[in-house]
Chain A
Amino acid sequence: GAVVSQHPSWVICKSGTSVKIECRSLDFQATTMFWYRQFPKQSLMLMATSNEGSKATYEQGVEKDKFLINHASLTLSTLTVTSAHPEDSSFYICSALRDGGSQPQHFGDGTRLSIL
């Protein structure tokens, strides 16, 4: 089945640093990848949609200058949290969509980000 790999799985860093999270589709090409954020006991909230070779589309309320998304290839999208602060601590999850309108999204295992 489809596999999406996300790295790292857990990050702890000081306030003010930038953190990069990678999302890879391992056995298929993903023209579209999505980034979600999940707070404890809450559902996944879509942050942005990433299309290969073009700028990401951000949901309302998500700062595009703070959450930089790059989708340079059909198998890799990255999310960089710039100048992270404690309120950015969350569980970040990516998903990838296999080319084709009727396909479901497949999710990575998430990255737990803790900002001290």
Chain B
Amino acid sequence: QKEVEQDPGPLSVPEGAIVSLNCTYSNSAFQYFMWYRQYSRKGPELLMYTYSSGNKEDGRFTAQVDKSSKYISLFIRDSQPSDSATYLCAMREPGGGADGLTFGKGTHLIIQP
């Protein structure tokens, strides 16, 4: 059974702090890893998309994947109040993308001005 664990929070940090969000998973077949941001009553917005292990940086966001530990992270630098949202990790196995994603429950992040 596919399973992704993610702390739901809420996680509250002051503006400007570095935020660390994490997920663990049990299915070693997962190869594609994503982080989505979801504002209240909106659909998820893709932030980061990575394949297999390694790091990827995009602006203030850095995604890390450690397949040996089955652990993925998203770091947000210089956090802003507008970053307050729910952050969902998602992953899937290889196979042409025809499978739906397996999501974590999401972490509710609050950036205090």
Which chain A residues have a beta carbon within 8 Å of chain B's beta carbons? 4, 6, 32, 34, 36, 41-46, 49, 51, 59, 91, 93, 95, 97, 100-110, 112
CB nearest neighbor in B for A97: B97
Which chain B residues have a beta carbon within 8 Å of chain A's beta carbons? 6, 8, 32, 34, 36, 41-46, 49, 51, 88, 94-106
A43 touches B88 (CB 8 A): yes
Interface centre among B6, B43, B95, B102 (most CB of A within 10 A): B43
Check A104/B98 contact, CB under 8 A, given A43-B105, A44-B44, A44-B103.
no
CB nearest neighbor in B for A31: B98
A46 touches B8 (CB 8 A): no
B51 touches A102 (CB 8 A): yes
B97 touches A107 (CB 8 A): no
Chief secondary structure at chain B's binding surface: loop
| A59 to B99 alpha-carbon distance, docked (Å) | 11
In the complex, what residues of A have CB within 8 A of residue B94's CB? 101
B43 touches A109 (CB 8 A): yes
A109 touches B42 (CB 8 A): yes
In the complex, what residues of A have CB within 8 A of residue B95's CB? 101
CB nearest neighbor in A for B48: A104
Check A110/B43 contact, CB under 8 A, given A49-B98, A101-B96, A102-B97.
yes
In the complex, what residues of B have CB within 8 A of residue A104's CB? 32, 34, 46, 49
CB nearest neighbor in A for B95: A101
| A104 to B48 alpha-carbon distance, docked (Å) | 10
B100 touches A46 (CB 8 A): yes
Check A43/B42 contact, CB under 8 A, given A49-B100, A101-B95, A102-B97.
no
| A41 to B88 alpha-carbon distance, docked (Å) | 12
In the complex, what residues of B have CB within 8 A of residue A32's CB? 97-98
Check A93/B46 contact, CB under 8 A, given A34-B100, A43-B106, A101-B96.
no
Interface centre among A36, A93, A104 (most CB of B within 10 A): A104
